[in-house]
Amino acid sequence: MLSRTAASLYWLGRYVERAEFTARLIEATIRLDALSPRPAGMGAWESALAVAAADHGFAATGEGLNPANVARYLTLSNDNPSSIRSCLDSARGNARAVRTALSREAWEAINRAWLGLRDRSSTGGTHATLALVDAVKAETRGFEGALHRMLRNEPSWFISLGAAVERADNTARLIDVKYHLLLPEGEMVGGVMDRDQWTTILHTVSAVTAYRWLYRDGLRPVQVAELLIHRRELPRSLAASVDEVVSHLNLLGKRTGLQGEADRMARARQATMARDSIDRVIAGGLHEYLSAFIVENSALDRAIGKQFRFA
Amino acid sequence: MRLFVHHRTDYRFSEPQDRVVQLLRLVPGSHIGQNVVDWRIDVDCNARLRPGRDGFGNETAMLYIDGPVHAVSLAVMGEVLTQDQAGMVAGAAETLPPVLYIRATPLTAASESIRALAAEVEGADGTALDRAHRLMALVHRRMRFVPGRRIDGRNAATAYAEGEGNAADLAHVLIAAARRLGLPARYVSGHVLRPAHQHEWHEAAHAWAELHIADFGWIGFDPTADRCPDDHYVRVAIGLDHRDAAPVSGTRTGGGSEVLDVGVRVGIEG
Amino acid sequence: MGKRAAFDEIRGHEGGDAARPEFAALGSWIRDTPPAELNRRQQAAEAAFRQLGITFAVYGEAEAAERIIPFDIVPRVFTAPEWARLSEGLVQRVVAINAFLDDVYGARRIIADGVVPPELILANPQFRPVLAGARPPHGIFAHICGIDLVRTGPEEFFVLEDNARTPSGVSYMLENREAMLRLCPELFELFPVAPVDDYPDALHGTLRSVAPRGRSSNPVCVLLTPGHFNSAFYEHSFLADSMGIELVEAADLVVDDDIVWMKTIEGLVRVDVIYRRLDDDYLDPLVFLPESVLGVPGLVSAYMAGNVTLVNAPGTGIADDKAIYSYMPEIVKYYTGSEAKLPNVETWRCREPDCLRYVLDNLSDLVVKLVDGSGGYGMLVGPTATRHEIECFRAALVAEPHRYIAQPTLALSTVPTLTEQGVAPRHVDFRPFVLSGADGVTIVPGGLTRVALREGSLVVNSSQGGGTKDSLILLDRPQRGGR
């Protein structure tokens, strides 16, 4: 496989995952906003900007911080490189450059998602935003379905590898922001507001029911963190993403006979994580742990690029 | 005359290059009045050189260097025996008929003023050979020869409008005007011995034109000196213009900028 | 010319509703299918094309401005004997084109024998002197030719233009057929139609057959595209996909030691055959345009060394040049020994005084073309031109007659086409694709029919309101499966 093709597939996986994550983030934020008493709802949108690493970018637009503006910035803005539209643009650009490596169905799913946003100029009200976000989720699910029906060989592995690396990054940022943002003044840890925020995180990664299955004793922040970091049963947890990276690298290694620095880094990370516990993580500082994870994840991303000669 | 040619090209890159690929036209052929005794190209790093021959009959070499490349130095050293043929070219490997050389190229397209230059000669009496000589004299008189001026893809029209240029510029103007007169004209890159300066390094290889005159064939005309090449000249490569015959056409893969340093020395002692 | 009603390929010269007897079944299908139903199917086809991304970029508009070429649901049909005659003529013409190219880049006998004036070839910018003497593997230059044909009557086919560089449009032949099979399956039960879907296999076979000697056991073929911003990118990816070969960009290739390699995740892999959809000028910055960033430095050197096959070979533009076109009948006869089976459109070379006089006397009836112009630039269409335009051209012709040719305005044939007013005749042309490999010449029975959708228009160009149709070649006898 051409190195350029591999790079495009990997980035296709990353961008589709990022688009979907942003869609989920908006959905959960709308929910949190609706639950919160005014004006605390703005905190939900600020937090969404921070999770998407779009807070500085948004500030630079000079627009007022209100739900409509933030929703538009996260969804449709061409100035925001991680808006859903920008992600789908990039995903389609990569897909288009490697069409021969994709199944017709996979290409059509991406193209349809892109067409769906192409002519939208505004998100409309909350209702319309939710509808739009739903549509994006449906299209990306369609892409995942198509991906599963593609031949099980290098193209689908590179896409999945990119998606897993991106997912690890997204989930880590999501948890980190909860600890980053202070609760509004007067709110108590464990209070209604705090609860809502943790629930929102679970919503973002579709884990509300999963949490209830795995933890029978009600919502406890430490358990939410444990679920999102260590529980392999949850597909969006860090542990599950880390496993997935290892297994896709293994598949690629078997097919191409190439093993390298990326494999070693991914396996080392997997082994460390298996020895970890949430108590140790909390003791060492959750924010510090997550920051280190994000840095390590980007180092792994670079190692992958080097190993498969992306440049 | 026994001429010794030493032609070196040094590149220094501000950032290491992944790859350098160059097309070299540095090797002269032998013909009547020019006998190549010894000729070699040296590269100062691990490189592969592939000899070839292009459609014009030029001897070429492809140079391939893997990165990282910080600097490259190409050295050409050769020895040639020459005889004065009064500019006439005979016995060379002519692969293409003269009629090819009447077409204009982007570098040799005639402007209004070059057409006027051609017209000055066109009306005059005399043979085609006389007109060719007159044309060379006119270019020589109208354009100041600035030997060191870098070739930067300037076309004949621009150079003529500026009234000065290097050897390639003057050759391009002469070629453009000659083709207007219906004379096939081609570009020649090569070397010239300047006896008073034979121990100095010059900043560029030389260039002139050859015009095809009925009953005579190809004859060289050097508008920088207003004379036909004699035994002081070594012909290396020909083409429709500089692009076809340049000593080096190169590309590199990698960022940054490059510094190019060319030195040519032609002498009668090795 | 032009006064008589155009020949309709289905209904004949007479016009009216009755189809020619051999097309009776199609005639009834057109008559019996309600326009609303045709319309529905046509829209379904266009929606599918859009979803597949069969688009072309419109220059000067934003990248998002990708359009589909309009598709017409009413097919164009050729009978088996018509196709057989066309095929013979196409094979003859393409054989001559390859012999011509081999000659002009080699011995130049045709010049020595005085068949074509030397300056027309040698002083022509399409002749690439730097490539003289280079002979591609197996001596084939134009492996893929698209020959543009027009028709004016039942037996009257003319070659309008040869495309011997990088002809495009074959993906429409294939995708239009896919759409027709899905949307109008009943048509294919009315009469047996020759399949076109083996074109990618035929093309791949041709590519493999011309691999350099010594590399022929399992040659690596790739398709070189300028990139996904190119207007024909869909076709590039479609063809690479259908053949199962890599779709590469220049940056994916390197030349080392006069050998071409592609960069893969496992390292460098040697490339033997490059189906390049990149113009000569951009192929290799060392030899052609030095400012090209789309090209591969050293590619021409690898080609001249015989280490890689370029499909088509560089320099083939000299064979489809307008100035050379007018000599094609002589060229065909010179190399094949027989008269051209497919005639040219009558062409006056203004460089010849008698022709110039005739052209100047009949400017208002003729189409005058600049020899080195393209895309409709530098063209005079006499019957629709203003007095002023005609006088401007007259002056230009007198000043530089050698730069012009003139042709009559042809009454192009029409084919029933779905319009807003129901099914009505529209003018068409036809581009079949001819493959030349080491194993001979192959023509897949089909091609690209372009249709001028505006009433009375003769311009089939997609940028000026042209659309496409499926082109059905009928088989002689119904072929039934069985054992």
B60 touches chain C (CB under 8 A): yes
Asked if C298 lies within 8 A of B21 by C-beta distance, the reply is yes
Residue B35 pLDDT exceeds 60? yes
Residue C15 pLDDT exceeds 80? no
C257 touches chain B (CB under 8 A): yes
In angstroms, the separation between the Cα of residue C240 and the nearest Cα of chain A is 7
C114 touches chain B (CB under 8 A): no
Residue B57 pLDDT exceeds 80? yes
- Kindly report whether the peptide bond that precedes residue A39 is cis, defined as omega within 30 degrees of 0: yes
What pLDDT score does C66 carry?
64
Domain of C365, in residue numbers:
348-408
What pLDDT score does A180 carry?
54
In angstroms, the separation between the Cα of residue B180 and the nearest Cα of chain C is 13
| Tokens 């015989």 -> residue | C306
Mean pLDDT of B61-78: 91
Residue C203 pLDDT exceeds 70? yes
What pLDDT score does C61 carry?
42
The fold of the B87-191+205-244 domain, in CATH, is: C8orf32 fold (3.10.620)
Q: Which residue of B has its CA nearest to C285?
A: B251
Local confidence band at B167 (pLDDT 50, 70, 90 cut-offs)? very high
Number of C-beta neighbours around residue C251 at 10 A = 15
Please state the domain count of chain A.
Answer: 1
Do C256 and C366 fall into the same domain? no
For residue A190, CA distances in Å to A28, A208, A278 come to: 19, 17, 19
What pLDDT score does C481 carry?
58
Local confidence band at A182 (pLDDT 50, 70, 90 cut-offs)? very low
Asked if C249 lies within 8 A of A4 by C-beta distance, the reply is yes
In the 8-state DSSP scheme, what is residue C473?
E
Number of C-beta neighbours around residue C95 at 10 A = 17
In angstroms, the separation between the Cα of residue A64 and the nearest Cα of chain C is 29
Local confidence band at C62 (pLDDT 50, 70, 90 cut-offs)? very low
Q: Which of C54, C48, C55 has its CA nearest to residue C73?
A: C48
Set of chain C residues whose Cβ sits within 8 Å of the Cβ of A97: 227-228
Mean pLDDT of A223-239: 93
In angstroms, the separation between the Cα of residue C295 and the nearest Cα of chain B is 11
The domain that holds C396 is classified in CATH as 3.30.1490.270
C267 touches chain B (CB under 8 A): no
pLDDT digits (tens, 9 = 90+) for C120-178: 999 999 999 999 999 999 999 999 999 999 999 999 999 999 999 999 999 999 999 99
In angstroms, the separation between the Cα of residue B198 and the nearest Cα of chain C is 32
Local confidence band at A187 (pLDDT 50, 70, 90 cut-offs)? low
B53, B55, B64 member nearest C257 (Cβ): B64
Identify whether C436 is part of a domain.
Answer: yes
Mean pLDDT of A123-147: 90
Residue C100 pLDDT exceeds 90? yes
Asked if B97 lies within 8 A of C258 by C-beta distance, the reply is no
Residue C232 pLDDT exceeds 80? yes
In angstroms, the separation between the Cα of residue C246 and the nearest Cα of chain B is 23
Q: Strand, coil or helix: what is C419?
A: strand
Identify whether C9 is part of a domain.
Answer: no
Mean pLDDT of the residues in chain B: 91
CA B18, CA B8: separation in Å to the nearest integer?
A: 23
List the domain boundaries for chain B.
2-80+248-267, 87-191+205-244
What pLDDT score does B199 carry?
85
Q: Which residue of B has its CA nearest to C121?
A: B100
C228, C238, C262 member nearest A2 (Cβ): C262
Task: Give every CB contact of residue C107 below 8 A, 6+ residues apart in sequence.
Answer: none
Cα angle for residues A71, A75, A77 (degrees, 5° grid): 100
Q: Strand, coil or helix: what is C254?
A: strand
- Please tell me which chains touch B, using 3 or more CB pairs under 8 Å as the contact test: C
Asked if C304 lies within 8 A of B102 by C-beta distance, the reply is no
C246 touches chain A (CB under 8 A): yes
C255 touches chain B (CB under 8 A): yes
Local confidence band at C482 (pLDDT 50, 70, 90 cut-offs)? low
CA A195, CA C180: separation in Å to the nearest integer?
A: 59
- What is C258-293 written as a DSSP string? TEEEEEETTEEEE--EEEE-S-HHHH-TTTS-TT-S
What pLDDT score does B152 carry?
66
What pLDDT score does C1 carry?
40
The ipTM value here is 0.93
B12 touches chain C (CB under 8 A): no
Do C294 and C436 fall into the same domain? yes
Residue A284 pLDDT exceeds 80? yes
C286 touches chain B (CB under 8 A): yes
pLDDT digits (tens, 9 = 90+) for B200-241: 888 888 999 999 999 999 999 999 999 999 999 999 999 999
Q: Which of B186, B163, B187 has its CA nearest to residue B114?
A: B163
Percentage of residues of chain C with pLDDT beyond 70? 93
What pLDDT score does C56 carry?
62
| Tokens 């010794």 -> residue | B4
Asked if C53 lies within 8 A of A3 by C-beta distance, the reply is no
CB pairs under 8 A between A and C: 60
Mean pLDDT of B103-123: 93
Asked if B62 lies within 8 A of C285 by C-beta distance, the reply is no
Do C257 and C274 fall into the same domain? yes
Mean pLDDT of C411-438: 94
Identify whether C14 is part of a domain.
Answer: no
Residue A189 pLDDT exceeds 70? no
Do C326 and C461 fall into the same domain? yes
Domain of A200, in residue numbers:
3-307
Residue A64 pLDDT exceeds 80? yes
pLDDT digits (tens, 9 = 90+) for C20-57: 888 888 999 999 999 999 999 999 999 888 877 776 65
Identify whether C15 is part of a domain.
Answer: no
Set of chain B residues whose Cβ sits within 8 Å of the Cβ of C261: none
Please state the domain count of chain C.
Answer: 2
Of A166-180, B108-122, C58-72, minimum mean pLDDT range: C58-72
CA A9, CA A121: separation in Å to the nearest integer?
A: 29
Q: Looking only at Cα atoms, what is the longest distance across chain B?
A: 61
Set of chain B residues whose Cβ sits within 8 Å of the Cβ of C290: 153, 243, 249
Asked if C119 lies within 8 A of B99 by C-beta distance, the reply is yes
Set of chain A residues whose Cβ sits within 8 Å of the Cβ of C53: 96, 99, 107, 111
Local confidence band at C65 (pLDDT 50, 70, 90 cut-offs)? low
What pLDDT score does C3 carry?
46
Residue C257 pLDDT exceeds 70? yes
What pLDDT score does B24 carry?
94
Set of chain C residues whose Cβ sits within 8 Å of the Cβ of B49: none
What pLDDT score does C159 carry?
97
pLDDT digits (tens, 9 = 90+) for A232-282: 999 999 999 999 999 999 999 998 887 889 999 999 999 999 999 998 988
Local confidence band at C390 (pLDDT 50, 70, 90 cut-offs)? very high
Identify whether C16 is part of a domain.
Answer: no
In angstroms, the separation between the Cα of residue C266 and the nearest Cα of chain A is 7
Asked if B96 lies within 8 A of C298 by C-beta distance, the reply is no
In angstroms, the separation between the Cα of residue B243 and the nearest Cα of chain C is 8
Residue B150 pLDDT exceeds 80? no
C271 touches chain B (CB under 8 A): no
CA C473, CA B220: separation in Å to the nearest integer?
A: 61
Cα angle for residues A187, A189, A193 (degrees, 5° grid): 55
C52 touches chain A (CB under 8 A): yes
Mean pLDDT of C243-259: 94
B255 touches chain C (CB under 8 A): no
Residue C307 pLDDT exceeds 80? yes
In this structure, which amino acid lies at residue C50?
R
Residue B80 pLDDT exceeds 80? yes
Do C203 and C328 fall into the same domain? yes
Mean pLDDT of A131-150: 92
pLDDT digits (tens, 9 = 90+) for B170-193: 999 999 999 999 999 999 999 999
C254 touches chain B (CB under 8 A): yes
Percentage of residues of chain A with pLDDT beyond 70? 93
CA C131, CA C105: separation in Å to the nearest integer?
A: 7
What pLDDT score does C59 carry?
46
Identify whether C197 is part of a domain.
Answer: yes
pTM of this structure: 0.86
What is the dihedral angle through the alpha carbons of B205, B211, B212, B217, rounded to the nearest 10 degrees? Answer: -60
Asked if B50 lies within 8 A of C131 by C-beta distance, the reply is no
A78 touches chain C (CB under 8 A): no
Do C328 and C430 fall into the same domain? yes
B28: phi then psi, degrees, rounded to nearest 5: -80, 155
The fold of the B2-80+248-267 domain, in CATH, is: Immunoglobulin-like (2.60.40)
| Tokens 């149709």 -> residue | C469
